[in-house]
Amino acid sequence: MAEVELQNISRKYKNVTAIEDIAFTIPNGEFWVLVGPSGCGKSTILRTIAGLESATEGQLYIGGQRVDSVPARQRDVAMVFQNYALYPHMSVAENLAFGLRMRGADSAAIGQRIERVARSLSIEHLLERKPKQLSGGQQQRVALGRAIAREPQVFLLDEPLSNLDAQLRDETRAELKQLHARLGITTIYVTHDQTEAMTLGDRIVVLDRGRIQQIGSPQEIYAQPANRMVATFLGSPPMNILPATYNNGQFNLNAQTLPCPEAIREQLQPQNGQGFELGIRPEEISLSTNSDSTEDLTIHLDLLEPLGRETLVRGSLPNSEVVLNFYAPGRFGGRRGESVGVKLQRDRLFIFDPKSGKILYPLTND
Ligand code: ADP
Ligand code: MG
């Protein structure tokens, strides 16, 4: 187990900056998730830590040791890729043992270790099979097991569940979390899936276009996103974003108005005619009970997705492309094409700068 520290790491290819100024310290034993859209630099960071890629700038420390020029095989990290490659001619047991044999462990110790790992991943009945006799999910477990068997100082996982079907992915995700709780090995997990990030991470690093957008616990990032990208990336369905213009204590949204809460006015000091983006999460919107309330918005129903307990409503502001998603009760009788009134929980509004996307409200003190 070891702390992992990145100091201002950048990786430039000829005319592409894959990652820029990446800095964070992962305390010993924590589970961190790097999340962001495809191409944002997640794999590059992980490969740099593993030593498969070298940074063009910055320094890397594992367990307090500078490792920038230490070859990958001497770094005591284990990496699992999306396209895990098991050795096809070896049995599961031999695959699990491979890394240990390479390091010269004795066979009694290897046998015990493999048994324990196989049990923890529920693959003990598969030890004699060859990879091609396994399902995709079983193969993935073996790949994880091979990495675990080495008991490395640091685990690096690059989208390890993305080849699994939905149910197996949920199960394996839960198992991974339990496994981490048991082994306590510092883990860095890369995914583009916001659910995986929220459910797995002690902390989440949100990346976009090669740069860190925000680092925090899942709860912090959800409650206090640093900008529009983070706000709309984490959470499903994503936070609704409504373009609005401020005028005399109100926000104008496409011919409708919403009173601007006092707290927002105080902090924002908005000018008449100033443009903003209002953010509101789906769970802060509900159907109006009183249709002529001045605080409500009228929306157009575009699509209704009954989910049993609730109905996911996909709507829009009339005569606009502005989308508003929220949940109605499971028995909601609205129909596509109709208009309904909705109430926004106005003390849960976020305000963003429409140009930079930076959060303007609420702001924390730190
Ligand atoms: P992610 O894993 O988040 O999808 P990557 O780390 O793989 O993203 O890639 C980040 C960026 O760096 C992308 O724009 C990608 O095209 C670029 N990139 C990655 N590897 C190379 C390479 N060998 N040569 C040039 N550009 C690369
Ligand atoms: Mg990748």
Contact 43 CB / ligand 1 (< 6 Å): yes
Buried b (16+ CB within 10 A) or exposed e, 170-209: eebbeebeebbeeeebbbbbbbbbbebbbebbebbbbbbe
| pLDDT tens readout for residues 61-84 | 999 999 999 999 899 999 988 777
- In order of 126, 187, 357, the CA distances from 181 in angstroms are 25, 11, 37
Is the pLDDT at 276 greater than 60? The verdict is yes
Three-class DSSP category at 17? strand
Is the pLDDT at 366 greater than 60? The verdict is no
Residue 277: closest CA among 223, 347, 350:
350
Which of the ligands is closest to the CA of residue 37? 1
Q: Which residues fall inside 5 Å of ion ligand 2, going by CB? A: 43
Contact 44 CB / ligand 1 (< 6 Å): yes
| pLDDT tens readout for residues 316-350 | 999 999 999 999 999 999 999 999 999 999 999 99
Distance, CA of 205 to CA of 104 (rounded, Å): 36
Contact 22 CB / ligand 1 (< 6 Å): no
Is the torsion defined by CA of 214, 217, 218, 222 positive or negative? negative
Average pLDDT over residues 114-136: 91
What does DSSP say about strands 256-259 and 296-306: parallel, antiparallel, or unpaired? unpaired
- CB–CB of 208/341 below 8 Å? no
pLDDT for position 124: 93
Whose C-alpha lies nearest to ligand 1, atom 13?
Answer: 39
Q: Is the pTM of this model over 0.85?
A: yes
Distance, CA of 36 to CA of 226 (rounded, Å): 14
Ligand 1 centroid distance, CA of 33 (Å) = 18
Whose C-alpha lies nearest to ligand 1, atom 16?
Answer: 39
- CB–CB of 127/91 below 8 Å? yes
pLDDT for position 32: 98
Which positions ≥6 away from 297 have C-beta within 8 Å? 253, 256, 258, 317, 324, 341, 342, 344
